[in-house]
Amino acid sequence: MNNETIQVLAAHIATHIIKQPKRVITPDEKILSSGLIDSFSLVDLSIFIEEHFGVRIADTELNPETFDTLAQLAGLITQRQ
Amino acid sequence: MPAQIEPTFPTQAGQAATVAQRLLDLAKQAPEKVILRLLFNQAPDQPITYAELLQRSNGYAQALAGAGIQPGEVVILILQHGADLAYAFFGAIFHGAIPSIMPFLTEKLSPEQYRRSLAALFEICAPAAVITYPEFESEVRQAISPHASIRTLLLSSQIAWPAEAAEITPTKGIQPADIVLLQHSSGTTGLQKGVALSHQAVFNQLESYSRALHLAPADVIVSWLPLYHDMGLIAGFLLPILSSIPLVLLSPFDWVRAPYRMLQAISQYQGTLAWLPNFAYNFCAQKIRPRDLEGVDLSSWRAVINCSEPMYYRSHQLFLERFAPYGFRASALATCYAMAENVFAVTQGGIDAPVTIDPVSQRGLLIDRLARPPQPGEDVISMLSVGRPIDNTRVRILDEHHHDLAERSLGEIALHSDCMLTGYYKRPDLTKKAFAGGWYLTGDLGYMADGEVYVTGRKKDLIIVGGKNVYPQDLEGLASEVAGIHPGRVAAFGVPNPDTGTEDVVIAAELEDQNLDPEDPAAQAIADEIRQRVTRGSDVVLRYVKLVRRGWLLKTSSGKVARSANREKYLSESDNFSL
């Protein structure tokens, strides 16, 4: 399940957030603290997660302390599904 | 007519001549008035009265005095959204010192780069003291070189609160022409230009701007703008606090994660005025869920003022369509042209009449440099007017020889007022260069029509992202350090993104290796490294990194990389972009 979630997230981020569809994002790569996802795109990400996975990420959770990699984010999603 | 507190500025003889005296007078008139309400993400709202503001600020003033800081010396504030920032700022002013607010370290920025910026700032403005949190002390200490001017590092935890507000007297001998504060733009280049403003300049601006806004006692200002930026510091902090207008203040950090909070705050506190950079119109319109707007009533909002980056008619339309169902009125859409060098506002539009929309030919602007009506078949740009100059400020449009241009001709915007900067702090060279015949040359391009000002672009290569000034040379310097890039063969520029309503930052860089295909994974690793380095070094996130072969970048006759020409080349080759 997690792998599939990671792939969906990676594809969304590459295509719609950083606009480099060919960019490979590995499960353990830092995506927030590295600046790959800028703060203006955090709300986008949480809206996408809510629409696609039916899981709510609170705005207070949009920080690297809560998740900083796709693996961590996918874990959070799976846990709440 | 019953007596009431006048929100406009007293300038008659015998009235407050300094910011400290003004605050003292207001606190005497209405000590229990809640002048500032701080909103937090996971804590209750914090109301602060004039009496509290005065008392706590005085604590900072006494701490500075106790540390031997002299009036006229610079005090750098490294504090986040919160009461201490307000207290430390006014405390420095009470003491007669000159506060300057430095952005806080963010999670994305590398600590090394932040330290370098701090060290550069310390070098340029020779501060006598820094005020920060105990948790941040070691970070700041590392940036202080052995030869630095800083004598005191004051921690927010060390401040004692004086018991009696009544005892407070600001430092004597401060004159209206003395410098009251410094404002810096971000980045290595921006830090070189600390805009020094006098008490009188601040008062003159607030007085004139209050008239332009018809500021009245019923107004409530709501802001999430950072206080290290002129729009936040003046419109979203000093204007309300020094005019007895309640201010509801959110953190920019929280706002970007939860933009609906500003709208909820307007609804809850009957907000009437707010300033936003253009991107925030798109951001709010696109990224707020309906459930977060339940019960929100925006009918109290009499002006939302678009300011600090190029503005688009479409952004106004998006905002209006999205929020009209919540009581937002079309008449509330307003515009402003502002800069720290004039304290803040140069013009204001949309208050006395709807914002003027001027449909002009795109070709006319680009080729003929004339804002003329479109001829059949020509593309139209709907220019938003930034309004008329406020009543203490005059605007001219100049050609390259500094001669006046005719109505509707495109030229450099120059201005003259009684609220100009005293100078760039300790940089008389830069100050001199900024003026021609007593007129400040803004570096912005625009035209005038029927007494209203239209801003079309910039003469300088400055990039503005989300209202924040970004100097391309800073980004180019960072990208040039990446292995595999031909040093110096890098161009950074901004391209407008109509979806987000702001600019995307692009870097085009030539590869060192002639045989490396820019599409090769090895080249992509170099692109990643550029992104990483630029983000960690400048806090700017790049939208596109374009790697190109040697010789792709266009150069000027003197061999320097020509940013605007390369921007045009990039746009003409790019299919993911349309105007």
Per-residue pLDDT tens over the stretch B375-434: 998 889 999 999 999 999 999 999 999 999 999 999 999 999 999 999 999 999 999 999
**With an 8 Å Cβ cutoff, is B531 touching chain A?**
yes
Name the pairing type of β-strands B345-349 and B357-361: unpaired
Q: How far apart, in whole angstroms, are the C-alpha atoms of residue B444 and residue B440?
A: 11
B187, B330, B365, B481 from B115: Cα distances, Å: 12, 45, 43, 18
Q: How far apart, in whole angstroms, are the C-alpha atoms of residue B395 and residue B347?
A: 9
**Parts of chain B belonging to CATH 3.40.50.12780:** 25-333
Minimal Cβ distance to B287: which of A22, A47, A64: A47
pLDDT in tens, B233-251: 999 999 999 999 999 999 9
How many residues would you count in chain B? Answer: 579
Q: Which CATH superfamily is domain B338-458 in?
A: Luciferase; Domain 3 (2.30.38.10)
Q: Is pLDDT above 60 for B2?
A: no
Give the pLDDT band of residue B6 (cuts 50, 70, 90): very low
Minimal Cβ distance to B107: which of A47, A50, A64: A64
Domain B25-333: state its class: alpha beta
Task: Please give the pLDDT value at position A6.
Answer: 96
Give the pLDDT band of residue B147 (cuts 50, 70, 90): confident
Q: How far apart, in whole angstroms, are the C-alpha atoms of residue B482 and residue B531?
A: 10
The correct answer on CATH 3.30.43.10 for the domain covering B463-573 is no
Q: How far apart, in whole angstroms, are the C-alpha atoms of residue B476 and residue B563?
A: 11
ipTM for the assembly = 0.89
Minimal Cβ distance to A34: which of B289, B524, B532: B532
Q: How far apart, in whole angstroms, are the C-alpha atoms of residue B239 and residue B483?
A: 48
User: Is residue B101 within 8 Å of B228, Cβ to Cβ?
Assistant: yes
**With an 8 Å Cβ cutoff, is A22 touching chain B?**
yes
Strand locations in B278-377 (E): 303-306, 333-338, 345-349, 357-361
In A, which residues are within 8 Å of B283 by CB distance? Answer: 40, 43
Crossing angle for the helix pair B83-95 and B19-29, to the nearest 10 degrees: 120
**B256 to chain A: nearest residue by CA?**
A40
**With an 8 Å Cβ cutoff, is A21 touching chain B?**
no
Question: Strand, helix or coil at A64?
Answer: coil
For chain A, the structural domain boundaries read: 2-80
Task: Please give the pLDDT value at position B26.
Answer: 95
Contacts 24+ apart (CB under 8 A), B231-236: B231/B275, B231/B277, B231/B307, B231/B308, B231/B338, B231/B344, B231/B467, B233/B101, B233/B181, B233/B183, B234/B202, B234/B205, B234/B206, B234/B338, B234/B343, B234/B344, B235/B275, B235/B305, B235/B307, B235/B338, B235/B344, B235/B345, B236/B275
Supply the pTM of this predicted model. Answer: 0.89
**Parts of chain B belonging to CATH 2.30.38.10:** 338-458
In A, which residues are within 8 Å of B287 by CB distance? Answer: 43-44, 47
Q: How far apart, in whole angstroms, are the C-alpha atoms of residue B427 and residue B434?
A: 11
How large is the C-alpha radius of gyration of chain B?
24
Minimal Cβ distance to A40: which of B258, B466, B531: B466
The CA-CA-CA angle for residues B338, B342, B345, to 5°, reads 35
In order, the DSSP letters of B53-66 are: HHHHHHHHHHHHHH
Task: Please give the pLDDT value at position B560.
Answer: 78
**With an 8 Å Cβ cutoff, is B279 touching chain A?**
yes
**A25 to chain B: nearest residue by CA?**
B528
* Cβ <8 Å between A35 and B541: yes
In A, which residues are within 8 Å of B114 by CB distance? Answer: none
Shortest alpha-carbon distance between residue B252 and chain A (Å): 11
User: Is residue B169 within 8 Å of B192, Cβ to Cβ?
Assistant: no
In A, which residues are within 8 Å of B259 by CB distance? Answer: 43
**With an 8 Å Cβ cutoff, is B149 touching chain A?**
no
* Cβ <8 Å between B41 and A43: no
Segment 234-253 of chain B within 8 Å of chain A by CB: 253
Q: What architecture is domain A2-80? A: Orthogonal Bundle (1.10)
Shortest alpha-carbon distance between residue B541 and chain A (Å): 6
Question: Strand, helix or coil at B340?
Answer: helix
Q: Which two tokens stand for residue B217?
A: 């006692």
User: pLDDT above 90 covers what percent of chain B?
Assistant: 68
Q: How far apart, in whole angstroms, are the C-alpha atoms of residue B556 and residue B211?
A: 46
B260, B297, B300, B549 from B267: Cα distances, Å: 11, 5, 7, 54
Crossing angle for the helix pair A2-12 and A70-80, to the nearest 10 degrees: 120
Helix (H) or strand (E) holding B254: helix B252-257
Residue type, B23: L
How large is the C-alpha radius of gyration of chain A?
11
Q: Is pLDDT above 50 for B13?
A: no
Helix (H) or strand (E) holding B223: strand B221-223
Burial class (CB in 10 A: 0-12, 13-18, 19+), B401: exposed
**B108 to chain A: nearest residue by CA?**
A33
